[in-house]
Structure 1
């Protein structure tokens, strides 16, 4: 099942409130509701989610894509045999690459695809063309929606909710959804892109949040097929905010890009676990710990 994540209007579902915050959370474009999901109202222990945390490494896109598909196949086998299996979260950065969704149009490429500045992959996810590269945190949740809600619109809104909470709670950045589009916006700047695929209700692909990303490669495409709007990053937005804008300056102590990535990564995992009501269990990486993954610090020295 392919979901092209654009051009639809939805009503916002309710999500569990943040557990700990030093200021109230303001749900953006959210329909108030006293009904949280069933798990949050029960005494049931949160479901387990195995987390492969490669955020300090640049992982080749093709390698991560193949890895996701292998995990999806394994989960589908377990489901067919009525065996329970934990959800999975992969978090990483990629070498510079352009990716297109299943139905993406090459008209959104501002270059000859035969002479592309970086590798180009056409994938089975929804959405149009986007860019991945250093300084961008990519989260690939591979979860069985049968254990959450069998509703792809709800799932997309939940991924958006994760990013909105990160920006609000950690960086004092007021982000929002944009009617008719998928992703997370601050003003007219898109800071997070989302594109997914679900196979027998098992999800893969996911979201990409620009933290310290060099935005120049986005100039070679029409990001997500949306013209006349910009792409932004957390680092750029923090630098732009002034008291006259009405935004509260975030008290985020960081001295370099790597520290800002560290802060954003910790917040992403925390908010993901709360929105999806999952207990995170970190696991070692048996198959990607190879010469093909490049520590980000090596590229910045």
Structure 2
């Protein structure tokens, strides 16, 4: 099965999965705890509660400080998907993976994207252009934008693409609200995360045999100028916004307590956003994040 979502999406870089042996998959472990935190017999304890602890692991390659060329990321993406398909065919454990990074400036189009949404001559493009196998129209990726690529086996979660899309949106909405006091939301009939008329994050997926790839891109302190050279996601009449832009607006309004907001000029704004997104991803999908590292040899390909 190959499915595509036709809203604006991001490209998906991938990394080789660790060769170590994995424990057999388990969705959750159910513990019965008393108020005193001691394991107890349900028959004799009246004050008990159930605590669901996620035991499903997610390998996280957090390379958000790297600006990865799109072509390299695309090769990683397709390689990892094939690896996971092989694991499933062998009835072996197929762990989830999460890749976090930035891209060098690039425009990407979906399979059926229309070039009419480009406001420049494609033969004289300001940046590289890639037509991918994803659904959706043209979008831009560049420095200052956090890109997250979950490559997940939905058999271990929920085999429902609408649920998966809404879950990705929920990750971003929670991160923006809890960390930046940005009350972002969904817009009916559209995929992504918005603040008023401004689109802060693009989301899109591709699924093969219930393995997801592509993902989400959040504008943190991105230079939004390149978005003016296209019709982002093919949506006329909408704007593109960023976390930094909204924080600057909040500094001059009563939208949120100023003391509670990060400085929009803080060089750590990407750090803060990245940590928050990974945390909320873990919470929404109920996975335990295991940070992985790449060897210097692997990094030479970037």
Query: 1:116 aligns to what?
Result: 125
CA distance in 1, matches of 2:257, 2:197: 18
Contact 1:212-1:235 at 8 Å conserved across structures: yes
Residues 1:261 and 1:236: Cα distance change in structure 2 (over 3 Å): same
CA distance in 2, matches of 1:245, 1:105: 41
Query: 1:55 aligns to what?
Result: 64
Displacement of 1:99 in angstroms is 0.6
Q: How does 1:149-188 map to 2 (within 5 A)?
A: 149-188=158-197
CA distance in 1, matches of 2:121, 2:259: 41
Query: 1:228 aligns to what?
Result: 237
Residues 1:257 and 1:129: Cα distance change in structure 2 (over 3 Å): farther
Q: Which runs of 5+ in 2 are unaligned?
A: 9-49
Q: Based on CA coordinates, which of the two structures has the bigger radius of gyration?
A: 2
Displacement of 1:206 in angstroms is 0.4
CA distance in 2, matches of 1:207, 1:192: 7
Contact 1:2-1:124 at 8 Å conserved across structures: no
Residues 1:215 and 1:248: Cα distance change in structure 2 (over 3 Å): same
Q: Equivalent of 2:84, from 65, 75, 78?
A: 75
Contact 2:244-2:264 at 8 Å conserved across structures: no
Displacement of 1:252 in angstroms is 3.3
Residues 1:183 and 1:45: Cα distance change in structure 2 (over 3 Å): closer
Residues 1:250 and 1:142: Cα distance change in structure 2 (over 3 Å): farther
Contact 2:110-2:136 at 8 Å conserved across structures: yes
Displacement of 1:288 in angstroms is 4.2
Residues 1:188 and 1:250: Cα distance change in structure 2 (over 3 Å): farther
Query: 1:194 aligns to what?
Result: 203
The residue matched to 1:140 in structure 2 has which SS?
A: strand
Query: 2:246 aligns to what?
Result: 237
Displacement of 1:6 in angstroms is 3.7
The residue matched to 2:179 in structure 1 has which SS?
A: helix
Q: How does 1:24-43 map to 2 (within 5 A)?
A: 43=52
Displacement of 1:102 in angstroms is 1.6
The residue matched to 1:149 in structure 2 has which SS?
A: coil
Displacement of 1:43 in angstroms is 3.8
2:209 equivalent to 1:208: no
TM-score w.r.t. structure 2 length?
0.81
The residue matched to 2:269 in structure 1 has which SS?
A: helix
Q: Which runs of 5+ in 1 are unaligned?
A: 8-40, 294-301
Query: 2:287 aligns to what?
Result: 278
